[in-house]
Each structure stands twice: as structure tokens, then as C-alpha cells.
């Protein structure tokens, strides 16, 4: 599924993978989320509810641009730097390479399905 993001007023694009967790996330859209920095690696935000982790791997290694769900906390993570393997991390999709630079300082993101 293709997504349209607005990061602090600037347009960006992303793509979700076809996992059960990503489909659950897509069902929440559209979302506007306030972001905060975590470990100078990712921007995080609370989601309005927990996502399905059915069939998801036990963890993942994140790359800059990954959209991910951190199951232990139930939050969305948007990575602007690579991060080593983390248990409970489920990759949902990717932000387009050209749009990752803005993520490091992003304070608000709107995510919606692209038509």
C-alpha cells in the first residue's frame, strides 16, 4: 500500500509491506501524530491502539527510512538512522529515500493512504 505523509508540513511518500501488522496499521489511517526523538535514531509516537503481531518475526534490524511498530510499547517508530536488531520491532514499510533527511527533526506527521 502506498502512503502519503506530511512531515512538518512537507509532503513525503512511503510504502507499507503486506504483513498482518502493516494491514492493521493501514486500518487506523488517516493519522496525525506528534513525534518525539528516541535515542537520536528514530522518531516515535503513540498509536490509538495495539496492532496485530500475528505471523510477525520476533524482531528486526531497522534501516534509516523504516516505518516500524515496537510491539512491547505499542508505538510507531520512524527511523532516521540504522539501528541493530531489536526484539519486538516489526517493520511495516519504508519512507522514500529522498524523504528520510527531514525525519531527524520532525515534530508532527500525518499519514494517509495514497489514492
Is cis: bond before 96, omega within 30 of 0? no
| pLDDT band with cut points at 50, 70 and 90 for residue 102 | confident
Question: Checking DSSP bridges between strand 2-7 and strand 108-113, what pairing results, if any?
Answer: antiparallel
pLDDT at 97 over 90: no
Beta carbons within 8 Å of 69's beta carbon, 6+ residues apart: 21, 25, 47, 51, 53, 75, 76, 77, 89, 90, 92
| Options 3.40.605.10, 3.40.109.10, 2.40.100.20, 1.20.1510.10; CATH of 2-113 | 2.40.100.20
Q: Higher confidence at residue 97 or residue 78?
A: 78
Give the model confidence (pLDDT) of 43-83 as tens digits. Answer: 999 999 999 999 999 999 999 999 999 999 999 999 999 99
The residue among 113, 115, 105 whose CA lies nearest residue 36 is: 105
Q: How far is CA 5 from the centre of its chain?
A: 11
Amino acid at each position: 500500500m502506498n502512503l502519503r505523509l506530511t512531515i512538518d508540513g512537507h509532503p513525503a511518500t512511503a510504502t507499507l509491506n503486506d504483513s498482518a501488522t502493516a494491514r492493521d496499521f493501514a486500518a487506523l489511517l488517516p493519522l496525525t501524530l506528534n513525534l518525539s526523538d528516541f535515542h537520536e535514531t528514530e522518531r516515535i509516537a503513540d498509536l490509538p491502539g495495539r496492532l496485530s503481531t500475528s505471523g510477525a518475526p520476533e524482531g528486526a534490524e531497522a534501516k534509516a527510512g523504516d516505518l516500524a511498530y515496537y510491539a512491547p510499547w505499542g508505538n510507531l517508530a520512524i527511523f532516521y538512522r540504522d539501528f541493530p536488531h531489536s526484539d519486538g520491532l516489526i517493520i511495516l514499510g519504508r519512507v522514500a529515500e529522498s524523504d528520510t533527511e527531514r525525519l531527524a527533526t520532525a515534530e508532527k506527521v500525518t499519514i494517509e493512504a495514497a489514492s
